Amino acid sequence: MKPLALYCKSYSTDLRRVVRLAESIRQFNAEGLPFYVSAPQTELPLFREHLAPLGVEVLADEDILRASPRIDVEQLRAMPGSVAQQVIKSEFWRLGLSTAFVCLDSDAVFIRPFGLADFMTPEGVPYTMMDEAHDLLEDALRHKRERIVDAFGREADLVQQLFQRQGRRYSFGPFPLVWHCAVWQSLDERYLQPRGMSFADAIAQAPIESRWYGEALLAYQAVPLLPCQALFKVYHYAWQYDQDRRAGLTTEQLARFYCGVIYQSAWERDMDWPREGGNGLSRLGRRLRRKLGRI
């Protein structure tokens, strides 16, 4: 079993983004870490056509679910896609392809050479994203986005209460995240199974997969906790990107601290496959909101 793999759950709408990600991995993957992408069975031919030349192994989401005991596929189908994909991403560990994996989103891009040392110690202990998200929350307040601060508090409190943990509210993100299979296994064996739950049940209760992982790590200590800050520079909102661009911050400067960058797909809709969704008016409206920093 490999000590570490790269993994991305994707859909055809994000095909161009995941191709961009795969191209950046081929350019900067100094140690040849394996890269897996999963997609719905019906979309495999499309993904294989575009990703096979880039050395990517494409898997079916259904294969991951078949390896997941107690998953009710009908329950999953009834979930919004943004929620159901959290279950698939979090159950990737059951395939046994690696001891740990870097869970990437399609809108990620590597910007410098990377290897095992960026994600884990020589002994195989992963670095865990964990802080109190003060930078994001302060930025939200500066831009009068109080709802972002409120949502952070509600999400943190919900999962902490499920684990009966009192204390500070932590953020266990942003993506990409390094997830160790032993942590997911401890969650399954010590929390889900005793309650007769699947991970789909857990996500239906609290749809924040990174918090389930982080709170399970704190509760069961399946691996040592080595906190780190974000691996990628994440532009959660367009105003953050515009702010850095106006300040003259370059990709080369970001590469001193980050492996890559994430540009949120919500304001990169021109990269949707096969084309940007919506009619002419809706596309124009998105571009205007983007220019005004409202996305």
Closest by CA position to 101, among listed 44, 14, 32, 34: 34
Q: What is the pLDDT of residues 243-281, one digit of tens each?
A: 888 999 999 999 999 999 998 766 577 788 886 665 555
**231: nearest Cα among 139, 56, 114:** 114
For residue range 39-78, list pLDDT tens digits in order. 999 999 999 999 999 999 999 999 999 999 899 889 999 9
Calculate mean pLDDT across residues 4-9: 98
Q: Residue 270: what pLDDT? A: 75
Of 257, 203, 195, which is closest to residue 230 (Cα–Cα)? 257
CATH code of the domain covering residue 135: 3.90.550
Which residue from 283, 272, 282 is spatially nearest to 19, judged by alpha carbons? 272
100 CB-near residues (< 8 Å, 6+ apart): 3, 4, 5, 119, 120, 124, 126, 178, 179, 180, 181
Work out the number of other CB atoms within 10 angstroms of the CB of residue 97: 17
The pLDDT of residue 144 is 87
Q: What is the pLDDT of residue 286?
A: 47
- Judge whether residue 223 has pLDDT over 90: yes
Domain count for the chain, please give it. Answer: 1
pLDDT of residue 277: 60
Strand blocks (E) in 111-263? 127-129, 177-180, 226-228, 232-235, 260-263
As a whole number of angstroms, the distance between CA 87 and CA 98 comes to 18
| Nearest alpha-carbon partner for 276 in 17, 10, 45 | 17
Q: Which residue in 152, 107, 87, 79 sits closest to 15, CA to CA? A: 107
Give strand pairing partners of 294. none
Kindly give, in sequence order, each residue whose CB lies less than 8 Å from that of residue 26, ignoring residues fewer than 6 positions away. Answer: 54, 55
> Residue 111: what pLDDT?
98
pLDDT in tens, 21-32: 999 999 999 999
d(CA 98, CA 259): 21
141-182 tens-digit pLDDT: 988 889 999 999 999 999 999 999 999 999 999 999 999 999
DSSP string, 27-88: HHBTT---EEEEE-GGGHHHHHHHHGGGTPEEEEHHHHHHTSTT--HHHHHTS-HHHHHHHH
Q: What's the length of the chain?
A: 295
- What is the extent of the structural domain holding 33? 2-291
| pLDDT surpassing 60 at residue 282 | no
Eight-state DSSP code of residue 255: T
| Rounded Cα distance, 230 and 233, in Å | 7
Per-residue model confidence (pLDDT) at position 236: 77
Q: Is 197 helix (H, G, I), strand (E, B) or coil?
A: coil
Between CA 210 and CA 183 the distance in angstroms is 12
Q: Which two tokens stand for residue 101?
A: 């994996």
* 106-135 residue pLDDT tens: 999 999 999 999 999 999 999 999 999 998
